[in-house]
Amino acid sequence: MIQELPGLPEGETGRQPPEGSEPAAALELMGIAKRFGRTEVLRDATLTVRRGERLAVIGPNGAGKTSLFDIVSGRLAPSAGQVRLDGQRIDGLPPHAVQRRGLGRSHQVSQLFARLTVAEHLRCALLPASGKAGSFWRRLATMRSLQREVHLWLERLGLLARADVPAAALSYAEQRALEIGLAAAGGSPVLLLDEPTAGMSRSETQRCVALIRSVCEGRTLLVVEHDMAVVFELADRIAVLADGRFIAVDTPERVRADARVQQAYLGTAMQHA
């Protein structure tokens, strides 16, 4: 269903690609700029994310990767530019409306509630997708199907034995897995993951990459990642953010060979990946 789009220009709501045309890109960033006071973090960030691809965003610390995710997910308004999800403008929408449109997101810094259990977190993430309450019997059926869904996600995340453990008592890697699950559990076709493997050991990273692959099956993924081994394992394409814009968007092999990219950021880190 098309929601209202507060603050968008006339004629920009509910735009669909013309019938018979190629399906629109999953996500389009068009000339995004962002200033914090006098600091211009993003200047002209333009990027098209194809439906079903896994695209990694890389760039130096402070390049504006998280700010860009904040703009796409509705946490921040851009100073200029547009964001389109499935061909429809979403810039200016609040985060819950962007999520309802089909965009799930995990954060660089944990957003878990310390005292809420793993199962309670998943229930909250799954509830909006489980349908509206009606009669008693309908509500009962809904609750049962919700429980089944929670169980499936607990299994999928490797957290079945941890269902009733408060988030604060999980290991760091378990917390990150839960956050990926929460981003994905609502069924969003487009997922944004901000440094999902940061701070993990090699073996935890490998498990996390396998989890990302599995939950992203059939979806579109935009992932910020500093670990080049993870980037090369996961990404169909890599987008390099530097000086407020994307200086290269291409296959991993071509990005690795790109002299501008080497100069702007990667250097030896990329040659060794």
Ligand X SMILES: Nc1ncnc2c1ncn2[C@@H]1O[C@H](COP(=O)(O)OP(=O)(O)OP(=O)(O)O)[C@@H](O)[C@H]1O
Does residue 67 touch Mg ion according to CB under 5 A? no
Does residue 128 touch ligand X according to CB under 6 A? no
Does residue 66 touch Mg ion according to CB under 5 A? yes
Shortest Å, Cβ 108 to Mg ion: 5
| Part of the chain binding ligand X (CB under 6 A), chosen from 61-69, 97-105, 168-176, 253-261 | 61-69
Shortest Å, Cβ 61 to Mg ion: 8
What 144-151 contacts at long range (C-beta under 8 Å, 24+ apart), as own/partner pairs, is 149/122, 149/185, 150/119, 150/122, 150/123, 150/126
| Part of the chain binding ligand X (CB under 6 A), chosen from 43-51, 59-67, 246-254, 263-271 | 59-67
Residue nearer to ligand X on the CB measure, 34 or 219: 34
Does residue 65 touch ligand X according to CB under 6 A? yes
Q: Which does 82 bind (CB under 5 to 8 A by kind): Mg ion, ligand X, none?
A: none
Q: Which does 197 bind (CB under 5 to 8 A by kind): ligand X, Mg ion, none?
A: none
Q: Please select the residue that binds ligand X; options are 5, 27, 58, 63, rule is CB under 6 A.
A: 63
Q: Which residue is nearest to Mg ion (CB)?
A: 66
Q: Which helix (H) or strand (E) holds 97?
A: helix 95-100
HSE-CB for 27 with a 13 A CA cutoff: 30
Q: How far apart are CA 137 and CA 159, in angstroms?
A: 30
C-alpha distances in angstroms, 217 versus 83, 96, 106, 107? 24, 23, 17, 20
CA 60 to chain centre: 19
Shortest Å, Cβ 76 to ligand X: 7
Local structure of 258: helix, strand or coil: coil
Q: How far apart are CA 178 and CA 111, in angstroms?
A: 10
Shortest Å, Cβ 41 to ligand X: 4
Judge whether 196 and 57 are in contact, CB under 8 Å: no
Does residue 41 touch ligand X according to CB under 6 A? yes
How buried is 144 (Cβ within 10 angstroms: 0-12 exposed, 13-18 middle, 19+ buried)? exposed
Shortest Å, Cβ 272 to ligand X: 19
Binding site for Mg ion (CB under 5 A): 65-66, 108
